[in-house]
Amino acid sequence: MARTYRVTTRTRAGQITGLFALALVALGVVLPAFVPRGVILDLFFILTMLTLAQLWNLLAGYGGLVSVGQQAFVGIGAYAMFAAVILWGMNPVPAILVGGGVAVLLAVPSAFFAFRLQGAYFAIGTWVVAEITRLSIAQWKALGGGTGTSLPREATGNIMGVDLVRSLFGVREAAARDILAYWLALALAVVTIGAIYMLLRNRLGLALAAVRDNTEAARSVGVDAGRLKWVVYLLTALGTGLTGALIHLQTARISPDAAFSVTNWTAYVIFIVVIGGIGTIEGPILGVLVFFALQTLLADYGTWYLLALGLIGIAVMLFAPRGLWGLISARTGIHLFPVQRRLLGQDQLKGD
């Protein structure tokens, strides 16, 4: 009798995670009714950093494209959103989409340039792209040049959906804006994680793993490594641009130095991914929680906080290169977002 086998990425933990995640998202949606504004702002911060971290993880952890220039897309997304609002009179919420689109437009020439550089030099190449973008934007006088600008009152007072939130929760306009931004951040994080999970479970995930392990061999079995890198790079730029626009919608204020900050949008993000566990979806989630906890605990110590973060990042990279989630996963064998393919024989299939 021929044995039947099936390749699967499903695990029991994965199915439980699915249900749990659904419940968590539902809770997240109704949360503004129960918690104070400060918590919503913290959650907004956590969710946007989580999205940036997931995207960088897709790029570096799965795609092998170690970029230290993601601030280019945060900044350009934010500036495009501001331009759409201030110069063309768009409503800020749909203007976020403009931010994402312009980020992709910037990603095309920068990929064309940076992909000429290998490995570590790709990293600094992306940084140069970000610097060029920052310095160019600082020349744009209509958006405040080097000092930056704010969203005008008439735009912030007229954000799509804010009135609905106000009547729903009976809060002031500023609080309603934060709740709206929080919902958008929640949606963006869920869509990003969901999309990455789907991508990795699909053929793209296999192809990415093949390219990361051995570009030549992958090419020989028909994986187009060049095209894959483009797909991952552009998708990441899109998500990063949207997140950048959303972050600056919430702050309503922009400047080149803040919007293109390598510390805020790349260093923090890298530490979140590395500490949590690079190359896993769980890692950035765990990492952002650790990051937020550290920031809350050490917020009063300023430079010491960054110093500690750097040291922890170095220590994790040296002694636990798969991060905290890697340690947990190795101990327990749990995969909440199973993307590995496992071969099941008939015996296991029966119990499935």
Partner 1 sequence: MIWIDTLVQGILLGGLYALFAAGLSLMFGIMRLVNLAHGDLIVLAAYLLLVLVTMTGMHPFVAVLIAAPVMFAIGWGLQRVVLNRTLGKDILPPLLVTFGLSVVLQNALLEGFTADSRRIPAGPLETASLDLGVVTVGVMPLLTFLTAVGVIIGLNQIFYRTALGRAFRATSDDPVTASLMGINPGRVFAVATGLAMVVVTIAALYLGMRSNFDPSIGPARLIYAFEAVIIGGLGSLWGTLAGGVIIGVAQTFGAAINPEWQILAGHIAFVVVLLIRPRGLFPRAND
Tokens of 82: 């501001």
Q: Which of 160, 310, 342, 345 binds partner 1 (CB under 8 A)?
A: 310
**Site residues (CB under 8 A) for partner 1, limited to 194-223:** none
**Site residues (CB under 8 A) for partner 1, limited to 43-82:** 60, 66, 68
Q: Which is nearer to partner 1, 101 or 146 (CB)?
A: 146
Task: Work out the number of other CB atoms within 10 angstroms of the CB of residue 313.
Answer: 17
Q: Which is nearer to partner 1, 171 or 320 (CB)?
A: 320
Q: How far apart are the first and last CA of the chain?
A: 20
Q: Which is nearer to partner 1, 191 or 307 (CB)?
A: 307
Alpha-carbon distance of 296 to 294, in angstroms, equals 5
Beta bridge partners of 117: none
- Is 131 a binding residue for partner 1 by CB under 8 A? The answer is yes
Q: Collect all residues with Cβ–Cβ distance below 8 Å to 73 and sequence separation of at least 6.
A: 103, 106, 107, 236, 237, 240, 241, 244
User: Under a CB-based contact definition with an 8 Å cutoff, are residues 344 and 352 in contact?
Assistant: yes
Q: Among 176-184, 235-243, 262-270, 292-300, which window interacts with partner 1 (CB under 8 A)?
A: 262-270
Q: Among 40-48, 116-124, 176-184, 330-338, which window interacts with partner 1 (CB under 8 A)?
A: 116-124
User: Under a CB-based contact definition with an 8 Å cutoff, are residues 255 and 147 in contact?
Assistant: yes
Alpha-carbon distance of 56 to 46, in angstroms, equals 15
Alpha-carbon distance of 23 to 280, in angstroms, equals 22
- Is 123 a binding residue for partner 1 by CB under 8 A? The answer is yes
**Site residues (CB under 8 A) for partner 1, limited to 225-254:** none
- Is 313 a binding residue for partner 1 by CB under 8 A? The answer is yes
The helices-and-strands tally (H runs, E runs) of the chain is: 18, 4
- Is 147 a binding residue for partner 1 by CB under 8 A? The answer is no
Q: Which is nearer to partner 1, 68 or 81 (CB)?
A: 68
- Is 317 a binding residue for partner 1 by CB under 8 A? The answer is yes
Interacting residue ranges for partner 1, rule: CB under 8 A:
60, 66, 68, 113, 116-117, 119-121, 123-124, 127-128, 131-132, 135-136, 138-139, 262-263, 267, 270-271, 274, 278, 303-304, 306-307, 309-311, 313-314, 317-318, 321
